[in-house]
Structure 1
Amino acid sequence: MFLKKLNDRYNVIILGFAIIIIVIILRLANLMIVEGQDYREQSENRIFKNIPISAPRGEIRDRYGKLLAGNRPSFTVQIMRNEIDSNKINEVSLKLLNILEENGDKYTDEFPIVQTENGEYAFTYDINLDKWKETYGFIGIDGKEAFNSLKERYGIKEEDPYEAQIKLIEIPDITVPISIKESTRWRYTDELKKEDWLQSHGFKTEEFNIKAIDAFHKLRTKYDIPDSYSFEEARKIMVVREQIRSSSYLQYNPVKLAQDISPRAVAQIEENISDLPGISVNIESIRYYPEGELAAHLLGYLGKIAQQHEIDKYIKELKYLPGDIIGKTGLEHKFEEVLKGTDGYQKVLVDSKGRLMEVLEKQEAIPGETLYLSIDNDLQKKTEEVLKDVLHAIQTGGTYETRWGKNTFTGTSGIRKNAKSGAVVVLDIKTGKVLSLASYPTYDPNLFATGISGADWQSLMPENERDLLAPRPLLNIALSTAVQPGSTFKMLVGLVGLEQGLSPNYKILDKGYIKVGGHSFGNWLWNQRGSTMGYQNLSDAIRDSNNYYFYSLATGYDYGAGKPLPIKMSPEILIDYTKRFGLNDRTGIEIDIPREKSGGVPSIERKMDTVKAMLRNYLNRQLKIEDLNPAKIGQTEENVNEIINQILSWADENPSRGTLVNRMKEIGIREEKVDLYSDVIKYNYFNQAKWSIADTMNFSIGQGEHSYTPIQMANFMAILANDGYKYKVSVVDKTKSIEDGTVTNFPVELIERIELKNYAHLDEITKGMYEVTATGSTRMYFNKLPIPVAAKTGTAQKSGKIPPLDEVEYLKGNLSRYGVSLHAVEEKMQELKESNKNNTKYRDDAFVMREAIKKVNPNIKDRDIDQYKENYDNFTWFTGFAPYDDPQIAIAVLLPQGGTGGYGGPIFREIVAEYMGLNATNENENLTIESRLLP
């Protein structure tokens, strides 16, 4: 019967399925019951992990392969968010940070609630903002007024907030923590960051004014941190929580808690690994600069991904890890994606205690590409050394001596105690490549390799924030300081004269000074000693830096002979040639600082715009609604703004004073105010707005509205020496891939040969530059140098007073000179504060004290108050090329507050000697040069 049923195909299929099901059931029973315990133990004790392997950052080397930026191994502590037990996170966090602190290791701390020195609790956002306000004297001032005050303080003319902010940010070491976005305009960014942080932690809008300690307690409850933990312990837990939270959208990637920790800390972490689930220690490469400070301003420095635009680009777009370090400035920033490399990973099996059991798969990291620069390590080192040593000699009245010359900076006129900074640029004339670039003072980029400490960062800040020329280690003077070129610009004016047809042998009689519109424009020798230089041709005028000659040349009038020159000259022609030499453009060098300044060639249009902007600032400060005539116009802020715009519209026309008076009455200015405003507007602004002969004279000697950087001036010298060929300035030679050896070259880029009528005119100009060093005022710097050089000195005027470190103390120290007593001033200060409670300016003690002094003694003016402050000294320029008969390198030296142009001579000389190999050691002759400062 059973066999008969088997003959039925349907029954056979049912039987087969039944057997298979029985086998599966038996196998499952074996796995779950017989072998279940073993498999359960394996599943509990084996965990698969993907451990990222950070790629070593690409190296940076000089033109000969000398290492400038490399890597060294270090220990990094990481936490895997998806592997940490939420019930143990508080205990793990505290234990880990205690281990790090015991061994003196730093860890990432971005939790913004701290306990201050006086025991109070505060948000770091509030602390930072208060410190910024105190530094700039803006206590109690809102964002809009602070922004406008910064514009006025630093002479920013742009009305558009975005353009104005760009100009402010370009000023050395100035921070502008004020939002200019339409939706949050004039809010302090620290306030916005604080609100964003509170919102991200679940606080509602009405809670944004919560006290720091209350916010802390609320978060403590949220994170279930027991009361048994002290504030310090609870905060450590929140430090880790903050790091994990900030990378929540990348929960499967590790979060770096600390980098470059000590071997002792590593040992302790490994010993306690079973109590630290989710924590791992990996070996990673960190940046290392073997030469320390050398070429720091070229290389740049690193930092953590912190700003929103960095998060958007690097983390969200390029998939960097939140704890990654990126290039912030210089070549490290410009070539970030080239130097970064490609991260690898290890897929490993670990037990429940985190111990490695097996490496299942490994993808090696690919190092970043090697960046080869055009600079010469030895020349760079010599450039920095000479710049530092000569500056020290100038400051102290010491002696700088080498085989190639001895120079002593003594006497009252010789010492320049504020000459504490400077820059040097050396270019290859034939290629535009940078051979060395130095800015002093400098810094050690190793400080930034894993994130700079607060103390180290503070050490890099200027002692006096209010002093724009105070030494700033982070400032790249060579690229970001644009000033008047002084007499180094005269060669260009001489070239324009030749191009317009003037003979180089045409002589102009120097009569000492020229009177123009009530102003006297004197030659420097006349101004110093009342002497003249007699008849001089172009070469003589360049050699002796004859202002009188170049005044005449630029204006097209021979003042010595009292007749026009036989050529056509105009401001437009001068401006055109200046732009041809690239002085209105960025050089294109591959460095982010964050931006290379382009300098600025004076322009007729810009002068008008500048005066209009100054007039607008004046009217914004002075014209009040009570100055409006209510019989003609409503006394409203809108009408004040409309009147200001009307007045500005008359600037191009420059109406007569009588016409201006009538118009002021017509638009609604009170009768008693019309004469005052009309005189100021007419004579201080409208009459100054149009280009004048005086402007042309200032233009001719490199004063006025010129502003160029050292790298622009070095490029200018290179073009002069190289028959008019203009190259793109570059500091990078090539990149090389470590993975496959691919080389990407950065070839020499000839932009153009500038347009000239006769290139032989350049020889006439450089001949005069040679005379400067051969027979002129700088010959004492070069009489021992066996290499002929061509150069030109320059002195750029710097007007104004140096702001004291403490304005209030300065005022108190000079009250007797102002004819006032401290008691009377303090009483008047209190009175002014009480009567101006709504005016935020009166919350600044220095401002109030100045106003009080003027009220107590009405004869005292602002200029009288400031007269006891120290004057700024002039900028020193020394530019040129070498050798004269075979130009190879162009050099520009700039020394802020260096006083006199010649002081850059020893720096120029020593760089030439080094480049030409004169300092090389010869076994037969002792040619080793020892540069030293003598007391």
Structure 2
Amino acid sequence: MEIIKDFFVNAFSSRIRVISVVMGIFAAVLISRLFYLQIINGSEYQDNYNLKLEKTETIPATRGNIYDRNGNLLAYNELVYAVTIQDNGSYSSKKEKSQSLNSEIAQIITKLESNGDDIDNNFPIFIDSSGSFQFMYSGSALQRFRADVFGKTSVDDLEYNEKLGIDEANATADEIINYLQGERVYNISDEFDKKLRYEIMVVRYNMGQNSYQKYISTVIASDVSENSVAFIEENVNELTGVAIEQKSLRRYANSEYFAHIIGYTGQISTDEYKTRSAKDDSVEATDIVGKSGIEKYMDDYLSGTKGSETLFVDSVGNTIAEGEYKAAVSGNDVYLSIDMELQKATYTLLEQEIAGILYSKIANIKQYHASEHASSSDVVVPIYDVYNSLISNGIIDTTAFEDENASDTEKAVLAAYKVKEKEVIATLKSQLNVNNEVVYNELPDEYQAYSTYIVTKLKSLGIFDSSAIDTSSEVQENWTSESMAVNKYLLYAIEQNWIDITKYESEAKYADTEELYNDLIDYTLEFLAKDKSFQNLIYKYLLLDDGISGTQLCIILYDQGILKEDAETYAMLTSGRISSYEFMLSKIKNLELTPGQLALDPCSGSTVILDAKTGEVLAMVTYPGYDNNRLANSVDSDYYAYLTNSAANPLYNYATQQRTAPGSTFKIVSSTAGLAENVITTSTEIVDLGQYTKVSNKPKCWIYPSNHGSINVSEAIRDSCNYFFYEVGWRLSGGDGAYDDVTGIEKITKYASLYGLDETTGVEIEENSPHIATEYPVMAAIGQSDNNFTTVGLARYATAIASRGNVYNLTLLDSVRDSEGNVVESYSPSLRNQIDVLNAGQWDAIHYGMKMVTESLSSFNNFSVPVAGKTGTAQQVKSRPNHALFIGFAPYDNPEIAIATRIAYGYTSHNAAAVSKDIMSYYFGVSSTEDLLNGEANAVSNSGNEFTD
């Protein structure tokens, strides 16, 4: 005991020894604890650690299909392979992350493109054909995008960013690109070329949109080739977060015919996400939703219900266990009221008619100059306008002229252009010199066009503030009257602060107006050198000056593969054995070049066909159409740019959005009003004196200086007698001694409203509101004044006439059915109102007058189905052809269908009547399909023997 006692006394008598003992005890405890945790219970703790990482994956629902009334498939889904990436790598710094991700994405994109695949690109900035960055959208959509880029919750939060030196609310496409590609955001190296830098940025931006949701994959490219799938799978261990996944893409059959009705799908926008997610927590930033048309309107039915799967993953994202699973529920199928075959035939017949009109009006001249007394029907299309449209409307790709593999003809055209461009820029620089005194109207036509373009472009860029202009100032009046020099006008605009110098000056360092002006001109000329529209304007005058030829452009159509290879015709062109004039006429006649492509008057039209007994919409055609496959899923930016820049405006729904005066088709309203108000009877005769002198403008009947003599209402409808309906308008307004504009307009409005012409029809896609005349009842009675109606509105009107008063609320839908075919929801037109102001005899008189209309038209000669109709011609501007309209129904005794057709700038109503007859011929099987749908422009008469109402 003493020995032990001495040991402890000696041990604790030294501080070092005490510390050593204590440390030894602690070490023993720690080692024993580590042994317990890692060796005895290590496996259990490792499992618990792994299971703490839980993620829930969404299982997307299959979108429902869209069918026509007969079960023909119009919209469906296709499973494809997609390359995806997740942001799940580990990096020591933001710089390292950017370098690693950018390098990896660049490698993937390069490989994909070598295999013929493209990245998915819905980014709102694209590279145009001249290599410049351009916004895809404008207005509120553009501002929302700017807010997203700069991390602002609301567009109202956009401000001048001093750190970046950018006015966020007006940030240009280049400023946004430079910001995103720069060190502050994605830090994309300059070692990549411009296109690859842009594509890397697109992928990074898409990844950023999903960054707040863990384990959400970002699609790099959809519908990739087998070679691309193999590359990813072979290198999956070296590519961080990259995988091959199956993805459902939306596809559209017969897209050109149905695009305006069906619309298309796309990734949910920021605003859509905020709105939807506030009500539904299953909404994700990667959701695909309907963006337009029936796809948008019926999105809740079509989209289905998502499923989910809970997974347990380890620290690097590998799945180690599966949890709860909830299957997705497919969307419902939507059936339209439209008949697919009738829709396609109507579209084709309309295109053939428009092509025939254009073909008949092309003249072998350089320019058309209207004489003082020329009418709209005298307008012709110079062949040089046709040549020019090949460039101006984007049929020929002028940027391809600079490719290494460009043809000799392309190189020759480019060389001529370069010489012309240099000359134009030098001349403009001289004309815009601050001391130049040449006023606008003394400039050659070519340089007037350039000057107008410059001022217009400065306004569209926001540099020239149109709202700030004092329209009453002497300078502005001189400019408007073309009696002022362009440079003097721009100088004055700077002095008056109509021009925002901050838009072209990096800093306001000059106080002198002349210096500011010179900088503006330098900026403008530099901008014009890259501006595609200005380049097209130079090409126009290069053509007119014979610097390049129509033959060269025709040859390039083959060189660029726009026309199918034809060695014989190509040789004839190059040898001069066929003229470019003859060549172009032949291609238009055979519809190898369509009116929609050329975008010359006429190039658009619309037809709507309703079931006259039920009001069902059987066809609703807009020409030209477009391929909605190229806008769904991932937007083809080049194609979208073509659609938005085309003068034919293919994205515009002419059937539901275009409003024009109805012309004489409105005379049925006036007939109804006159009969119902007892200012005329079915037997009342009015003597046509040729010119109506009871109102101050003294309008003429279309037949003046001749006249229609004494006629009743049926005959007035047949002859479309303006004088008769002037008098009806006069009498509705109180007549002799009591005439009152307001009274007349109120009565016309009353009866137009009974026909549903005061409101939209109810179709489930975008539709412009109609407008009944608000002044000049005498002119309104013949369809003029400020009457404006859509084609679908006129079709409902025609149906009401055919059914003797049934006005329907229209629908494009037939039913919604689940995946088993059970009807979930049924749709049919509802009766809006019944016109009960006319008796049977009065309806008979109106119908008989319309029957006589078609009997007087040569296009209906020997037509076996009796038809009732009314033509209409509406003038918009004297320098362009009139709009052509026709409404009608058939058969006359027992109407089955009603129709309305409008050909914008279609010259005469007889052209609209002729194609309507062809459509009815197809519907009733009067002529063979092969004869009607022959793929050629219709023969159109320019004899002028038939009246123009």
1:58 maps to 2:69: no
Q: CA deviation at 1:391?
A: 0.3
1:590 maps to 2:764: yes
Q: CA deviation at 1:92?
A: 4.2
Counterpart contact for 2:762–2:811, Cα < 8 Å: yes
Q: CA deviation at 1:514?
A: 1.5
Q: 1:359 to 1:101 in 2, by over 3 A?
A: farther
With normalisation by structure 1, the TM-score equals 0.63
Match of 1:403 in 2: none
Counterpart contact for 1:698–1:704, Cα < 8 Å: yes
Q: CA deviation at 1:746?
A: 1.1
Task: Return 5+ residue gaps in structure 2 as ranges.
Answer: 1-30, 168-173, 363-375, 382-599, 940-949
Matched position secondary structure for 2:255: coil
Distance in 2, matches of 1:393 and 1:344, equals 54
Match of 1:313 in 2: 275
Distance in 2, matches of 1:445 and 1:56, equals 19
Distance in 2, matches of 1:214 and 1:599, equals 40
Match of 1:495 in 2: 672
Tell me which amino acid in the other structure corresponds to 1:282: E
Tell me which amino acid in the other structure corresponds to 2:900: A
Q: CA deviation at 1:519?
A: 2.5
Counterpart contact for 1:394–1:415, Cα < 8 Å: no
Aligned residue among 422, 434, 454 for 2:605? 422
Superposition map of 1:740-779 within 5 A: 741-774=822-855, 776=856, 778=857
Match of 2:503 in 1: none
Name whichever of 705-714 and 82-91 sits farther off: 82-91
Counterpart contact for 2:752–2:772, Cα < 8 Å: yes
Superimposed CA distance per residue, residues 735-792 of structure 1 (whole angstroms, 9 cap, x where no aligned partner): 0122783521113311221341535422211110011112x2x2x1112321101001
Q: 1:263 to 1:321 in 2, by over 3 A?
A: farther
Match of 1:10 in 2: none
Q: CA deviation at 1:460?
A: 0.6
1:271 maps to 2:271: no
Superposition map of 1:139-154 within 5 A: none
1:874 maps to 2:882: yes
Q: 1:354 to 1:788 in 2, by over 3 A?
A: same
Superimposed CA distance per residue, residues 126-185 of structure 1 (whole angstroms, 9 cap, x where no aligned partner): x549xx9xxxxxxxxxxxxxxxxxxxxxxxxxxxxxxxxxxxxxxxxxx54699xxxxxx
Distance in 1, matches of 2:124 and 2:889, equals 54
Q: Which has the higher contact order (CA 8 A, sep 6+)?
A: 1
Counterpart contact for 1:878–1:905, Cα < 8 Å: yes
Match of 1:157 in 2: none
Q: 1:573 to 1:208 in 2, by over 3 A?
A: same
Matched position secondary structure for 1:513: coil
Counterpart contact for 1:84–1:277, Cα < 8 Å: no
Distance in 2, matches of 1:118 and 1:428, equals 49
Q: CA deviation at 1:216?
A: 5.7
Match of 2:727 in 1: 552
Match of 1:324 in 2: 287
Name whichever of 570-579 and 91-100 sits farther off: 91-100
Q: 1:563 to 1:763 in 2, by over 3 A?
A: farther
Measured on the aligned residues, the alpha-carbon RMSD in Å equals 4.3
Match of 1:574 in 2: 748
Counterpart contact for 2:377–2:882, Cα < 8 Å: no
1:485 maps to 2:563: no
Q: CA deviation at 1:918?
A: 3.5
Name whichever of 435-444 and 240-249 sits farther off: 240-249
Q: 1:907 to 1:49 in 2, by over 3 A?
A: same
Q: 1:550 to 1:344 in 2, by over 3 A?
A: same
Counterpart contact for 2:615–2:808, Cα < 8 Å: yes
With normalisation by structure 2, the TM-score equals 0.62
Name whichever of 268-277 and 581-590 sits farther off: 268-277
Match of 2:785 in 1: 704
Matched position secondary structure for 1:479: coil
Match of 1:641 in 2: none
Superimposed CA distance per residue, residues 589-646 of structure 1 (whole angstroms, 9 cap, x where no aligned partner): 111x3xx11111123xxxxxxxxxxxxxxxxxxxxxxxxxxxxxxxxxxxxxxxxxxx
Aligned residue among 537, 541, 546 for 2:712? 537
Aligned residue among 218, 243, 252 for 2:206? 243
Match of 2:339 in 1: 376
Counterpart contact for 2:80–2:222, Cα < 8 Å: yes
Matched position secondary structure for 2:257: coil
Match of 2:811 in 1: 730
Tell me which amino acid in the other structure corresponds to 1:540: E
Superimposed CA distance per residue, residues 81-139 of structure 1 (whole angstroms, 9 cap, x where no aligned partner): 457667774424532342233222333567899999999xx9x6xx549xx9xxxxxxx
Q: CA deviation at 1:387?
A: 0.6
Match of 2:868 in 1: 790
Superposition map of 1:656-667 within 5 A: none
Superposition map of 1:88-127 within 5 A: 89-90=97-98, 91-104=100-113, 105-108=117-120
Q: 1:418 to 1:108 in 2, by over 3 A?
A: same
Q: 1:234 to 1:598 in 2, by over 3 A?
A: closer
Match of 1:512 in 2: 690
Tell me which amino acid in the other structure corresponds to 1:260: D
Tell me which amino acid in the other structure corresponds to 2:937: L
Q: CA deviation at 1:905?
A: 1.8
Counterpart contact for 1:59–1:70, Cα < 8 Å: yes
Aligned residue among 881, 888, 910 for 2:918? 910
Q: CA deviation at 1:340?
A: 1.3
Matched position secondary structure for 1:599: coil
Superimposed CA distance per residue, residues 805-842 of structure 1 (whole angstroms, 9 cap, x where no aligned partner): xxxxxxxxxxxxxxxxxxxxxxxxxxxxxxxxxxxxxx
Distance in 1, matches of 2:611 and 2:337, equals 9
Matched position secondary structure for 1:735: strand
Match of 1:207 in 2: 163
Matched position secondary structure for 1:65: coil
Matched position secondary structure for 1:256: strand
Matched position secondary structure for 1:579: helix
Match of 1:645 in 2: none
Q: 1:46 to 1:263 in 2, by over 3 A?
A: farther
Tell me which amino acid in the other structure corresponds to 1:393: G
Distance in 1, matches of 2:668 and 2:125, equals 60
Aligned residue among 260, 265, 269 for 2:223? 260
Superimposed CA distance per residue, residues 338-386 of structure 1 (whole angstroms, 9 cap, x where no aligned partner): 1111222344577899787776654332221100000101100111000
Matched position secondary structure for 2:915: helix
Aligned residue pair count: 660
Q: CA deviation at 1:43?
A: 7.2
Distance in 2, matches of 1:220 and 1:304, equals 26
Counterpart contact for 2:665–2:783, Cα < 8 Å: yes
Counterpart contact for 1:769–1:790, Cα < 8 Å: yes
Tell me which amino acid in the other structure corresponds to 2:657: S
Q: 1:772 to 1:27 in 2, by over 3 A?
A: farther
Match of 2:905 in 1: 897
Q: CA deviation at 1:333?
A: 1.1
Tell me which amino acid in the other structure corresponds to 1:512: G
Aligned residue among 285, 294, 298 for 2:248? 285
Superimposed CA distance per residue, residues 697-729 of structure 1 (whole angstroms, 9 cap, x where no aligned partner): 211100011000001100001111112111111
Tell me which amino acid in the other structure corresponds to 1:421: S
Match of 1:606 in 2: none
Distance in 2, matches of 1:585 and 1:356, equals 58
Q: 1:414 to 1:886 in 2, by over 3 A?
A: farther
Q: 1:783 to 1:517 in 2, by over 3 A?
A: closer
Matched position secondary structure for 1:477: coil
Matched position secondary structure for 2:850: helix
Q: CA deviation at 1:934?
A: 6.6
